[in-house]
Structure formats: structure tokens, C-alpha cells
Amino acid sequence: MVVAAVLLKVGLLAFGGPAAHVALMRREIVVRRRWIDEATFLRMFAACNLIPGPSSTELAIFIAYRLAGWPGLVLGGALFVVPAMLIMLALAWVYATYHATAVFLAGLYGIRPVVVGIIAWAAFDLGRRASRRASSLAIAVAVTISSLLGFNPVLLLVLGGVALLLIHIGRSPGPLGVPLLALAPSLPAILDAGRASRLPVLFLTFLKLGAITFGSGYVLFPLLQADFVEGLRWLPRAQLVDAIAIGQITPGPVFTTATFLGYLFAGVPGALLATLGIFLPGFLLVPLLDRIVVAIEHRAGVQAFLDGVSAAVVGLIAGVVVQVGISSISDVTTAALAILAFVVVLRRPLASPAVVAVGGLAGLLLRFLI
């Protein structure tokens, strides 16, 4: 199937995250082959941002479904994801085998602060688009503080949406309302790792993440931290940073970080279940996208709620920057690497794979040659 082959090509060649994926899909499908016109392509991408899951992956699935029906949806979507999944699986094995060696530790010394800079850029980039109003900025700040205090990130996302919805309908919670909403009691844990084997918990947790994560892959990281670092305690924060770094240097969806973590938690079965769980909601929701768009595109209240969620996302990512920064920046050198990475990616957003690679090289040079 030609459509699936094109999406396989994109999945193999698109380094640099969602922006690179969308740009390459546009070049292959709109410009070169003219299967879809520009206006339709943009409307389809906008629609993908209205449902949870990785927006660029859902765009690939949506295009395949629009052009080739259900067979296209399954095959095209799978071929877009599988290359990155296999690369991440191989890298997870290498990491699990060698991450404690001197060479690996030296490379990670340079890579971890670079990742802090990249995540800081993501928070800044999303923030300047999602927090243009004072109310949105207030929500982002309140969520940042609340996330640092340990409150449940899913609850904070919901409360961010509710806060802006209340403001929209004229029932403003007042100047103290947003912080009070954000400081509400945390949701109880749904899963208890002590009462179940890792595989069911692993699959259900990643399924939940796939069902609640909107927009870019950077949104995933605060949720991963809440579930696997702070909740289940399966993962040290430093290894989450490593997983983020490896996700930056591979092509295809950033959400295949789930493959990497699944392997660390439970080997190959864990990697496969984690990948299935996080991408499954997108495959199920894409066929309903046209109906979803018609149902909500003219409902200002729904748009206000989604804008509040977007503001809360910025706050969550900012909280991750602080927490990851504390564990990754240990001296003047690592601080300089983080700042340099932020400046470079701010000017060249698609350069993050190269920035991570340079960070690793810098770590090796600093530890072994200087």
C-alpha cells in the first residue's frame, strides 16, 4: 500500500519531534504527491490536537484512514510507529546493559543538562502560545507550584480546564480561586503496584497516559514522572531524563519513550505492552475525529476548557524543568550546557537530536580528555 509506505518513510527519516514529522508529512503528501490539499491537511492537523495522544502520530493515522480506509489506518499507523519502536527497543537493551559503565556515565554527564535545556525550551515555546492571557498565565504558575508540591498531574490538568471554563462563563473563581483549585486534594492512586504483577500495571498505566496526554510528546514527561518516579517508584528520576534524551535522538514519535521504559521495567513483553497501551487510544479515536470536530468546534465552553488544560500543561512541564534540573545540573559546566541547549533549540527547534549528541560528546571530552 503506497500510503503506508510513505508513512514508513516519514517514521524512518523524521528526526526532531512532532514539528519535523508534520513538516515531512506535508512535503510528501501535500507538496510532492498532492493527495491532500494544503487547507485540508491543516484542518486535519488541527483536529488531531482536539483528542488525547501524540498529535503528529494521530495525523499520520488520520491521513492513512482518509486515503485508504480501515486497512490504511491499521497498516499506515503501525508503519509510522514501528521503526521508532524497534530503534528504541535496541537502544533500551544497550542502555540496560552498559549504562553503569564509565563511558556511558561520562556521556550522560553532558546529556542530562542538555535535556533540561530542551524541556525548558518546550515549556517556553508552549507557554508563549498557551498563556497569552493573564488567566492562563495564572493557571500555569499555580499548576507549576502545585506539581512541585506533589499534587496529582491529571487532577491539575482537569482543574486547569475547569478554572478557565468558569472564567469564560463569567463565574470567575477570583484572584485566589485558581491556586485554591490547584491545591485541591490529589486523586487517589488507581493502581497499586504491590498487588499486581508489573505487566498489567504497565499496560494500564501507559493506556491511561495515552488517553489523557494532549499535544506534543513533551506533555508526556510530567505524567511519566508522576506515575513511574513518584507513584510506582519503578524509575529513578535520572533514568527518566536518560529516556527523554534517547527519545530526542531517534526518528518517529516521541511517545516511543514508552518502548524504552517498558523494556527497562519488564523486558521485551513490557516494551510491546507499553507501546500498545500508549498508542491504542489514538488508533481508536481517529476514526471519530470528524464527528468530534463537528461536536465541539463551535462550542466556546469546550474551547475554554481545552485552553485551560493547555495552560496547565505548560505548568506541569515547567515543574519538570525544576525537578529534573535539580538532579541533572550539579556544577557550572552542566549549568552552561543547559543554557546553551536552550538558546540553540530556541533558535533552531529541529536541532534537538544534534544538541543531545553534542551534549554526550561534551560529557566524554570533559571526563576523559580535559
Q: For the segment 186-231, what is each residue's pLDDT rounded down to a tens digit?
A: 333 444 444 347 899 999 999 999 998 876 667 788 889 889 998 8
Residue bearing the bigger pLDDT, 32 or 130? 32
Is residue 279 assigned to a domain?
Answer: yes
In a domain, 21, yes or no: no
Question: Which of 14-28, 62-76, 207-221 is the most confident on average?
Answer: 62-76
Average pLDDT over residues 338-361: 88
Polymer length of the chain: 370
Q: Is residue 38 part of a domain?
A: no
Residue 239's contacts (CB-CB under 8 Å, 6 or more residues apart) are 99, 264
Q: In this structure, is residue 110 part of a structural domain?
A: yes
| Nearest to 182, CA basis, from 200, 205, 157, 212 | 157
Q: How far is CA 173 from the centre of its chain?
A: 30
pLDDT at 61: 94
Q: Give me the pLDDT at residue 370, please.
A: 63
With contact defined as beta carbons under 8 Å apart, do 252 and 84 qualify?
yes
Query: What does pTM read for this prediction?
Result: 0.79
Q: Residue 171: pLDDT band by 50, 70, 90 thresholds?
A: low
**How confident is the model over 281-307, as pLDDT tens digits?**
999 999 998 888 777 766 778 778 878
In a domain, 78, yes or no: no
Longest dimension (CA), the chain: 62
- Across all residues in the chain, what is the average pLDDT? 84
- Give domain status of residue 48, yes or no: no
SS3 readout for the chain: CHHHHHHHHHHHHCCCCHHHHHHHHHHHHHHHCCCCCHHHHHHHHHHHCCCCEEHHHHHHHHHHHHHHHHHHHHHHHHHHHHHHHHHHHHHHHHHHHHCCCHHHHHHHHHHHHHHHHHHHHHHHHHHHHHCCCHHHHHHHHHHHHHHHCCCCHHHHHHHHHHHHHHHHCCCCCCCCHHHHHHCCCCCCCCCCHHHCCHHHHHHHHHHHHHHHCEECHHHHHHHHHHHHHHHCCCCCHHHHHHHHHHHHCCCCCHHHHHHHHHHHHHHHHHHHHHHHHHHHHHHHHHHHHHHHHHHHCCCHHHHHHHHHHHHHHHHHHHHHHHHHHHHHCCCHHHHHHHHHHHHHHHHCHHHHHHHHHHHHHHHHHHHHCC
Say how many CA atoms lie within 13 Å of 230 toward its Cβ. 17
- Tens of pLDDT, residues 226-258: 899 988 999 998 888 888 888 877 887 888 999
Q: Is the pLDDT of residue 339 over 90?
A: yes
Assess whether pLDDT exceeds 90 at residue 274: yes
Whether 43 is in a domain gets the answer no
Structural contact between residues 215 and 52, judged by C-beta atoms closer than 8 angstroms: no
* Amino acid 337: pLDDT: 93
| Per-position b or e across 159-170, b if 16+ CB within 10 A of its CB | bbbbbbbbbbee
Which residues span the domain enclosing 222? 100-368
Domain tally, the chain: 1
Which three three-digit cell numbers place residue 101? 559503565
